[in-house]
Amino acid sequence: MTNPLFYAKIILFGEYGMIEDSQGLVVPYSFYKGTMKFSDLSSEFELKSNRHLQKYSDFLAALDLSDDFKLDIESFKSDIASGLFFDSNIPQGYGVGSSGALVAAIFERYAIRKLDPEQISKDNLKKLKAVFGEMESYFHGKSSGMDPLICYMNLPILIENKENLDRVSIPEGEEGKGAIFLIDSGITGETGPMIQIFFEKMKTEGFRKTLKEEFIRYNNACIESFLKKDMNPFFRNLKKLSHWAYEHFRPMIPESIFNIWKKGLDSNAYYLKLCGSGGGGYILGFTKDYAKAEKMLEGFQKEVIYRF
């Protein structure tokens, strides 16, 4: 039996805003991946993963999933007893979907009714996202189901609003001067506390107003121009988005990143934004001239994910 690979995901646009009905654009990232394997559990990593799956299987057994999406928990538990573990190099707490890949791998292997990601209707996509949200709530307390959906589909997904999402084609990358890249903040982030901060902020009318009137407007405009590969309005709105986050998402920006975030805004050499919930992990960077940005960001570990 071949073991399918489940890739990490990157939220290019829509972090936090998707909670309040903004659009979102999420893409798979094949640099990091995970797959289900069996072993004698002789390494600490394998043993730890196996024990983690044992606990998780109890949680899944108690979930009341609809008939179309039921899991074969018996087989799952039997495989765990036979040495099943999740072999993954996806870093945890980095905003690239480590729990999402695990949920997708379990669903793919143990769903009683097999689905073909290529054939899933838009309506079923929505239902599947809700099921994945229930499955992933074990890790974050509350989950939109978006991460596992991206990992499972292995396709870029455009979230149109809370109700609608669909597959989308992103412009093909090409070897140009521009780049989208990841910066390692050097610390891991925890999603739960960051989401808590966001909901606290949402209690104030001023923040709710600026989120709806500014953040969501800039965010959606960035998605629209990126998908059209219309780079001038893209960078114009990206700067506004980055500046907005610098002003309003300060608790989510790791201290190590704070100065370089401002440096990008002041110089226009690059712009930064959160990758997922923030608080640590990766930060996303966008630039028209990667060689210049790279020089300015010396000392930080970077990974290019898209060239244009």
Question: Percentage of the chain surpassing pLDDT 70?
Answer: 99
Q: Which residue has the higher pLDDT, 196 or 143?
A: 196
**Is residue 173 assigned to a domain?**
no
String of DSSP letters for 244-259: HHHHH-GGGS-HHHHH
> Do both 147 and 19 map to the same domain?
yes
Mean pLDDT of 261-269: 98
Q: Which sign does the torsion angle of CA 7, 217, 215, 230 carry?
A: positive
Mean pLDDT of 189-198: 89
Asked if residues 271 and 178 have their Cβ atoms less than 8 Å apart, the reply is no
Top mean-pLDDT range of 92-101, 117-126, 233-242: 233-242
Report the domain count for the chain: 2
**Is residue 174 assigned to a domain?**
no
What Rg value do the Cα atoms of the chain yield, rounded?
Answer: 20
Judge whether residue 134 has pLDDT over 90.
yes
Question: Nearest-5° angle of CA 255, CA 31, CA 225?
Answer: 70
String of DSSP letters for 8-47: EEEEEE-TTGGGGT--EEEEEEEEEEEEEEE----SHHHH
> Do both 89 and 136 map to the same domain?
yes
Asked if residues 23 and 220 have their Cβ atoms less than 8 Å apart, the reply is yes
Mean pLDDT of 218-236: 97
| Residue where a domain stops, chosen among 119, 145, 167 | 167
Write down the pLDDT at residue 117: 83
DSSP-derived secondary structure letter, 170: P
Q: Is 64 exposed, middle or buried (0-12, 13-18, 19+ CB in 10 A)?
A: exposed
Question: Nearest-5° angle of CA 67, CA 143, CA 278?
Answer: 160
Question: What tokens appear for 41 in the block?
Answer: 């559990």
Task: Please state, as a whole number, how many other Cβ atoms lie within 10 Å of the Cβ of residue 156.
Answer: 18
**Is residue 190 assigned to a domain?**
yes
Q: What is the pLDDT of residues 30-89, one digit of tens each?
A: 999 999 999 999 999 999 999 999 999 999 999 999 999 999 999 999 999 999 999 999
**Is residue 172 assigned to a domain?**
no
> Do both 130 and 198 map to the same domain?
no
What domain range is 189 assigned to?
A: 179-307
Judge whether residue 1 has pLDDT over 60.
no
Q: Which of 161, 160, 165 is nearest to 132 (CA)?
A: 165
> Do both 107 and 229 map to the same domain?
no
Judge whether residue 180 has pLDDT over 80.
yes
- Weakest-pLDDT range from 150-154, 176-180, 232-236: 150-154
Task: Indicate the average pLDDT of the chain.
Answer: 93
Judge whether residue 226 has pLDDT over 90.
yes
Q: What is the pLDDT of residues 97-123, one digit of tens each?
A: 789 999 999 999 999 999 988 889 888
> Do both 16 and 162 map to the same domain?
yes
Q: Which of 106, 54, 122 is nearest to 83 (CA)?
A: 54
**Is residue 1 assigned to a domain?**
no
DSSP-derived secondary structure letter, 71: B
2 — pLDDT class (breaks 50, 70, 90): low
Write down the pLDDT at residue 187: 93
Residue 62 to residues 70, 71, 92: CA-CA distances in angstroms? 12, 11, 25
Which CATH number belongs to the domain containing residue 232 in this structure?
A: 3.30.70.890
Distance CA 60, CA 49 (A): 16
